[in-house]
Structure 1
Amino acid sequence: MADPLVRFERVRKTYGTGAAAVQSLDLDIARGELMTLLGPSGSGKTTTLMMLAGFELPSEGRILLEGRDIAQTAPHRRGIGVVFQSYALFPHMTVAENVAFPLSVRGVGRSERDSRVAKALDMVRLGGFGDRRPAQLSGGQQQRVALARAMVFEPPIVLLDEPLGALDKALREEMQLEIRHIHQRLGVTMMYVTHDQAEALTLSDRIAVFEGGRIRQCADPKALYDRPADAFVAGFVGENNLLPGTIEARDGEECSIRLRCGPLVQASAVDCGGRGEACVVAIRPERIAVAGVTASDLGEGALPATVLEAIFLGDHVRLRLGVGDGGEILAKRPAGVGSLPEPGGPAAIAWPEGAAFAFRDTTPRV
């Protein structure tokens, strides 16, 4: 990236125990980009955000903002907007006073301050709410106030640390779209931290998947979902069948793999070795075709299966299928489209060419 707004160069963060919360981090964030840091608890994503905000100092490496090394710059002098999960609104202030606070401490005059506060509240659809107190607002409205406060002084980047974690599902989904639309409308640069994969896919221009203090993959949502870089990303982003097996043959990027439960399948090599090596085959449940017929009726490459369970989930049916000697595969079928085999009955499964990927099997052996 030629001229990133933010650049992390070989950044490392360790604590008193010597364990590294973030290891050798290299990451660029472009101007106007919505970058999401996604990962499980303890993966290093929040520590990364806190180092950029200035609430944590890197143990090694450099953090550049608009080309300046800001490692020794105090948080309040970085000019970065931050939105926390807890909202952190001042309960004794009105909504307008909360939003105006960053402008007040920067010495912005009353007339300009009032104008910018009004625009910020309109931006988050809270025009007319300026005289209310935070306690008089819903959780989603409070989160919008926090977002308006973080953006009212026009910072170069806004950091959002799991800002929707306290909201219910419906409101959370509404706010995801609200944040996305604000970003698209204003072109403001954002770094967003979450452990929610659906949230990351909904919001992001790019997603950096963290695990163990490192970035396992950084890509746009579609590339991340369709072409995960390794077994961890395949298992963490979206739902995936992860089937252990052994490579029997490899021809370039195509592998023949004997699954541990018995069947021989074909998969595209992404991050795996050669013949005789252990691997994991990943197949998305929605890519699997299921028919209540014998395998031969579904075509070459189809596998015989047994329907173990069928769960109706409104817009789709989730099928748990037995394959081979004790193997299980999950499949998803749109509800109301065609007939489904009954639980306990025989079935056949297949998937299109290019839908299965092979990765190294890094499961610890005991």
Structure 2
Amino acid sequence: MAETLVRFEGVRKTYGAGGPAAVAGLDLDIARGELMTLLGPSGSGKTTTLMMLAGFEAPSAGRILLDGRDIAPLPPHRRGIGVVFQSYALFPHMSVAENVAFPLSVRGVPRAERQARVARALEMVRLGGFGERRPAQLSGGQQQRVALARALVFEPPIVLLDEPLGALDKALREEMQLEIRHLHQRLGVTMMYVTHDQAEALTLADRIAVFEGGRIRQVADPATLYNRPADAFVAGFVGENNLLPGEIAAREGEEVTVRLRCGPVVAAQAADCGGPGEACLLAIRPERIAVAAVTAAELGAGALPAVLREAIFLGDHVRLRLAVGDGGELLAKRPAGLGRLPEPGGPAAIAWPEGAAFAFRDTPRRG
């Protein structure tokens, strides 16, 4: 196991007497050299968690340890943490080099060393030769690189990034995701990255902590999080998922039979559900569903009859909306050009591999 750099122990944050907790009972370890992403919807507690680590918010309870030291008494500028904001927060009257040098200047680093470290930091983010420009003369992506260089130049133990790519267009955002990932891999610096974008989290992270209602619902590497979600919230929030209501008809160990509310009875993995008679949600990823243009009489073993409602061509794949049973609906995806599609309104057969469907408790979401 890698050495723990940051530890949250029972951390809680409330605003005002008797108000709901923005963060409730947070326990989380971040390993040295790890890129940890905090993922969740707006108001889930992820940015509050980052701000408490940075020192801009104080925990109402619990401890935050940095390298084994409780940092609660330290103001932000004494914690030695690099921070990158969505707004970049560059000084418009300073040159790029002066912006990057600012953390070194306030730390009293000698001028010659400042210049050398600034030059290295700008080369690191592919902005060598841009030192004399002002922020207004740079593109959004270049400004983001300057903000990242400024956060890294004083070699902090950890860099915090709060929705840093939110202001960029889709193409540039995807390019910068890879830039940050590759930079992390080259430098081995510890990073904590806040986002509400599931694809961004899956692209960047070594591990992802999914927040909802001020609590962590699951912490896992991207593949585990996507393929083995811990509960219905994670299954529905991370990537696309079909979530069909039903009831557990039978259970044998980690295998269950689910009677869907729309009629069909199917097998599933007991991911987070109870026994017979309990309400559940059946989760199945759209890309795991195979769709064939066959009639009910031609159904193979394990296949279900369906009707194609809509097919949308999206370049590399086709999205299929299918009616199943009495009022049920499923979304499926398949590569474009792969076999014959059913006609809209026509019969189809659907099936998925064993182990691809999961049953979760059907519990109300917290507000």
Q: 1:25 to 1:100 in 2, by over 3 A?
A: same
Per the alignment, residue 10 of structure 2 pairs with: 10
- Distance in 2, matches of 1:129 and 1:333, equals 45
Q: Does 1:337 align with 2:338?
A: yes
Aligned partner of 1:311: which letter? I
- Distance in 1, matches of 2:52 and 2:283, equals 35
Q: Is the 8 A contact 1:261 1:323 kept in 2?
A: yes
Aligned partner of 1:123: which letter? M
Q: 1:55 to 1:99 in 2, by over 3 A?
A: same
- Distance in 2, matches of 1:302 and 1:271, equals 25
Q: How does 1:167-206 map to 2 (within 5 A)?
A: 167-206=168-207
Q: How many pairs does the alignment contain?
A: 364
- Distance in 1, matches of 2:165 and 2:296, equals 46
Aligned partner of 1:11: which letter? V
Q: How does 1:1-366 map to 2 (within 5 A)?
A: 3-17=3-17, 18-295=19-296, 297-363=298-364
- Distance in 1, matches of 2:232 and 2:313, equals 28
The alignment partner of 1:5 has SS state of strand
Q: Is the 8 A contact 2:2 2:32 kept in 1?
A: no
Q: Is the 8 A contact 1:160 1:190 kept in 2?
A: yes
Q: 1:93-141 CA deviation, whole Å, 9 max, x = no partner? A: 0000000000000000111100100000001000000000000000000
The alignment partner of 1:225 has SS state of helix
- Distance in 2, matches of 1:161 and 1:279, equals 35
Q: 1:298 to 1:114 in 2, by over 3 A?
A: farther
Q: Is the 8 A contact 1:295 1:349 kept in 2?
A: no
- Distance in 2, matches of 1:302 and 1:119, equals 59
Give the CA deviation at 1:2.
Answer: 6.9
The alignment partner of 2:4 has SS state of coil
- Distance in 2, matches of 1:115 and 1:179, equals 22
The alignment partner of 1:153 has SS state of coil
CA RMSD of aligned residues (A): 0.9
Give the CA deviation at 1:299.
Answer: 2.1
Give the CA deviation at 1:227.
Answer: 0.1
Aligned partner of 2:273: which letter? C
Q: Any stretches of 5+ residues in structure 2 without a counterpart?
A: none
Give the CA deviation at 1:296.
Answer: 5.5
Give the CA deviation at 1:298.
Answer: 4.5
Normalized against structure 2, the TM-score is what?
A: 0.98
Q: 1:172-199 CA deviation, whole Å, 9 max, x = no partner? A: 0000000000000000000000000000
Q: Is the 8 A contact 1:208 1:219 kept in 2?
A: yes
Q: 1:8-57 CA deviation, whole Å, 9 max, x = no partner? A: 00000000152100000000000000000000000000000000000000
- Distance in 2, matches of 1:291 and 1:3, equals 50
Q: Is the 8 A contact 1:295 1:302 kept in 2?
A: no
Q: 1:295 to 1:186 in 2, by over 3 A?
A: farther
Q: Any stretches of 5+ residues in structure 1 without a counterpart?
A: none
Structure 1 stretches of 4+ with a deviation exceeding 3 A read 295-298
Give the CA deviation at 1:363.
Answer: 3.2
